[in-house]
Amino acid sequence: MRRVNGARSGTTRKHAARVAGIAAVAALAVTLSGCAGGGGDQAASGPKDAGDIVVGFAQVGAESGWRTANTKDIQRAFKDAGIELKFSDAQQKQENQIKAIRSYITQQVDVIAFSPVVETGWDAVLKEAKDAGIPVVLTDRAVDSEDETLYESFLGSDFIEEGKKAGQWVVEEYADQTEPVEIIQLEGTTGAAPAIDRAEGFAEVIGADEKFQVVASQTGDFTRAGGKQVAEALLKSNPGVDLIYAHNDDMGLGAIEAIEAAGMVPGQDIKIVTVDAVKDGMTALAEGKINFIVECSPLLGDQLVDIVKKVVAGEDVEKRIITEETTFTQEQAVEALPERQY
């Protein structure tokens, strides 16, 4: 199982030693560390300056407002830190991410960071990075691997907790209703950590009361167009639905369009709960078209820079760093919107 607890990485940088520099020193470093790479370079030549560090980042894509904000924040943070960032957009395809990671290995970057589009299927390429002495940092999404030595740290949200928060709001909102509550779930990308975990956390909470019935659940791939298309079809086949739970704001915004196109009032005739809290989602919440949003912060750039610096310097890093997040009601969205960065 991939679940990572808060344990420290016991393997930090021991394996990292890229074959570069003066042959004799490199040979000594290799002998001492038992492998090749960045940690060996540091031992031989002192800490690297930020300006000498090169990071390869393999992004999921540009599927949502959250992703756009995440990309901007990462690019801004590395620019501010004076660290070179090589950036690739996988267009939500795992094969593109694997190609990008292989290219970063060939280019011998100092650190590879990526947000895995899906959870499984990473062991081979991560092993290639490890064998090349290039440390890997996971941001935003987890991988499902037995081997936790394949990456240094995982920085991102607790998606199960997000699903639970959404479920708790639903349970409270319908506390006085004895009739069945019919729910449509708009899932994120099939196989992606946030889709799996947000469904799991939500199901765990609402599952305690059998009046909550998920009458349909289908992927909208985390996009607005996908959310609209799936909601349109599912609303037709489930005319009695009370609530839509969307795994992100964009799909919730697509659902709003579908509800309005069906001649109903979003937020009233059909309630909507989403995850993210990007500006468009918060605006819809402030207008009463969405009823509740669970925050998922895309602002991971500065923390990622810190992790990269520590990893390159051969310092210990936390194996799991969980992002702090909150939730928003309509009133809270009205208050928070003027200051919202993304």
State the residues that interact with ligand AHR by CB under 6 A.
Answer: 63-64, 66-67, 140-141, 194, 222, 248, 250, 275-276, 296
In the complex with ligand AHR, the residue whose CB is nearer, 29 or 293, is: 293
CB 222 → ligand AHR: shortest distance, Å? 4
CB 25 → ligand AHR: shortest distance, Å? 42
CA distances from 79 to 54, 83, 84, 86, 110 (A): 12, 6, 7, 11, 16
CB 74 → ligand AHR: shortest distance, Å? 13
Contacts 24+ apart (CB under 8 A), 325-328: 325/157, 325/162, 325/294, 325/295, 325/296, 325/297, 326/295, 327/165, 327/169, 327/292, 327/293, 327/294, 327/295, 328/277, 328/282, 328/285, 328/292, 328/293, 328/295
Q: What angle do CA 140, 142, 144 make, to 5 degrees?
A: 170
Backbone dihedral region for residue 208 (phi beyond 0: left; psi -120 to 50: alpha; all else: beta): alpha
For CA atoms 129, 135, 141, 146, the dihedral sign is positive
Q: Tell the residue number behind the tokens 């990008």, with chain if given.
A: 100
In the complex with ligand AHR, the residue whose CB is nearer, 206 or 296, is: 296
CB 46 → ligand AHR: shortest distance, Å? 37
Bridge partners, 138 (sequence order):
114, 154
In the complex with ligand AHR, the residue whose CB is nearer, 63 or 152, is: 63
Q: What is the DSSP string of 273-285?
A: EEEE--HHHHHHH
Which tokens belong to 24?
């004799």
CB 141 → ligand AHR: shortest distance, Å? 5
CB 276 → ligand AHR: shortest distance, Å? 5
CB 66 → ligand AHR: shortest distance, Å? 3
In the complex with ligand AHR, the residue whose CB is nearer, 37 or 194, is: 194
In the complex with ligand AHR, the residue whose CB is nearer, 18 or 165, is: 165
In the complex with ligand AHR, the residue whose CB is nearer, 11 or 283, is: 283
Q: How far apart are CA 95 and CA 201, in angstroms?
A: 29
Q: Tell the residue number behind the tokens 């004895």, with chain if given.
A: 178
In the complex with ligand AHR, the residue whose CB is nearer, 16 or 138, is: 138
Q: What is the DSSP string of 266-318?
A: BTTTBEEEEEE--HHHHHHHHTTSS-EEEE-----HHHHHHHHHHHHHT---B
Which tokens belong to 79?
């620019």
CB 195 → ligand AHR: shortest distance, Å? 9
In the complex with ligand AHR, the residue whose CB is nearer, 43 or 62, is: 62
